[in-house]
Amino acid sequence: MKPLSRNLSAHGPCLLALLAFAALLFLNTPTDGDFWWFDASRHAMNSVFIRDLLLEGGLLHPIDFARNYYQQYPGLTIGFYPPLFYLSAAPWLALFGVHHAVNQAVVVLYALLGGSLVYLLCVRHMGRLAATATALCVLAMPDTALWSRQVQLDVPAIALMLASAYGLIRYLETDGSPRWLLFTTLGLGLAILTRVQAIFAIPVLLFFLFADPRRPRIAMKPRLKALALMLLVALPSLLIAAYFSRVNQTLAGEMPGMPKLLSLENWIWYARALPRQMGLPALGLLVAGLVAGALTWRRPGWPPAVKVLAALALCAWGFFTLVSNKDPRFNLPGVVLLFVASALLLYLALPRLARLALPALACWLVVQALALSEVPVVGGFKEAALLAQEITPHGGNVLVSARRDGSFIFNMRTLGERRDMGVRRADKMFVDMKIAAELGVKDRALDVSAIERLLKDENIQTVVAQPGYLASQPSFRSFGQVLEAGVLYEPVRRIRITGATPANEQELVVYRRK
């Protein structure tokens, strides 16, 4: 193991290379309110809410402020997701203003943190060029590059997980430094406070603290204090998960369209996703590293870094396989951890091959991420928000009926100066829906006259509607009849929804009250 030099000039060029890639990644990212992923606009809106809470007097009466804020901008999910990302983004929003670009920049900064930690982890066991290449590979792999360019919690949580892994490795290398132990548990607590699924790492921490026969000789009291710190930091996230336990049980138990727990399809689900997540060249290097590690596993003195990263990757893989609700991005932590472990194994077993393969792979992935891949976006909601602000009378409300209503709400808050207007969501007024339509929708059985009364009571002056949205629900069909009748509302403009959308999301129709 190589000691990490205290001279920053030795590592400065390597870290500057990571900074340059992160900057190019940001410049290559759409940041004009054109969110692609459904949750991204809500995560961005949660950060704006925290900013407004702090700067607009919300701390004096936080419950009333939050209630009134949600009534005006019902695109918040801060009570469902852990709050750390929003808290970390709020100061940047206060400094640079409320804009999609600011939220996105915070995600890229987390990505840069994660890449820097990969470098610091690897440079202890390999040359600086190979360590830089490994970090660039992690940042530029297709799925990492994709989710670094969406306002999502995955990449921030991975960065904090890597911080925890780095602390645990240093704890083991220093034979039980309490300082590194606290760093480890603080990092894991913050990762859980960003994305609760980071709890998959807890068994690894417990093993290396209590069960590993080669664990450092450290008193029980410091270990228990460190665990208490982790639980204290992660407590809000754990309480949120417990509060929404009924929904979480649905997601974890048996989701429609997902394979059965004991089926072979379930246990190879994430393995089959690897070619798309990493690309075939990166997958080839990963396999080569694992094979090299398997052939030399009897070699004494494998560093703690390999053991910790491999254990974390294995736990991530098992955790997300056991959870019924599956998506390739859920196991992105496992992919990152496994790739770094494989790169270390390849370098330790076949250093000459690794010195050539890692920089070559990094060059390919960087070019692919910046020049060959297209970042998915969905446009049209900014134009709809601008038009709604233009035609809505002072103090009037806008009703949005669209699958991506979060994008419209975010743009309503961040564009222009129309803070006098409120937004209402059709999927809150006409039906009862649990988070997403896939988890269940209960119609409220509203006929045309009931819809008309509700629109009048809510002072709906403008309607922004996606044709066909939730048309299977009787109340939405009644709502469609109200719009088509042309008695209360008249169409103003049709706005095309552009970008990566399915066939049933093609346009928004803006109506104003007669």
pLDDT in tens, 427-467: 999 998 766 665 668 889 999 999 999 999 999 999 999 99
DSSP, collapsed to helix, strand or coil, labels residue 293 as helix
Return the H-helix or E-strand segment holding 494: strand 489-496
Tokens of 80: 């469902």
Does 253 have pLDDT greater than 90? no
Per-residue confidence (pLDDT) for residue 66, from 0 to 100: 94
pLDDT tens for residues 50-84?
999 999 989 999 999 999 999 999 999 988 899 99
With 0-12 / 13-18 / 19 or more C-beta atoms within 10 angstroms meaning exposed / middle / buried, residue 257 is: exposed
Return the H-helix or E-strand segment holding 347: helix 332-349
Residue matched to tokens 């949580």:
157
Residue pair 215/175 in contact (Cβ under 8 Å)? The answer is no
Predicted confidence band at 505 (pLDDT cuts at 50, 70, 90)? Answer: very high
Per-residue confidence (pLDDT) for residue 297, from 0 to 100: 74
Per-residue confidence (pLDDT) for residue 257, from 0 to 100: 76
Compute the average pLDDT of residues 483-490.
94
Sign of CA pseudo-dihedral 158, 162, 163, 165: positive
Compute the average pLDDT of residues 159-167.
98
Whole-angstrom distance, CA of residue 316 vs CA of residue 420: 46
Does 4 have pLDDT greater than 60? no
Sign of CA pseudo-dihedral 199, 200, 204, 207: positive
pLDDT tens for residues 310-364?
999 999 999 999 988 889 999 999 999 999 999 999 999 999 999 999 999 999 9
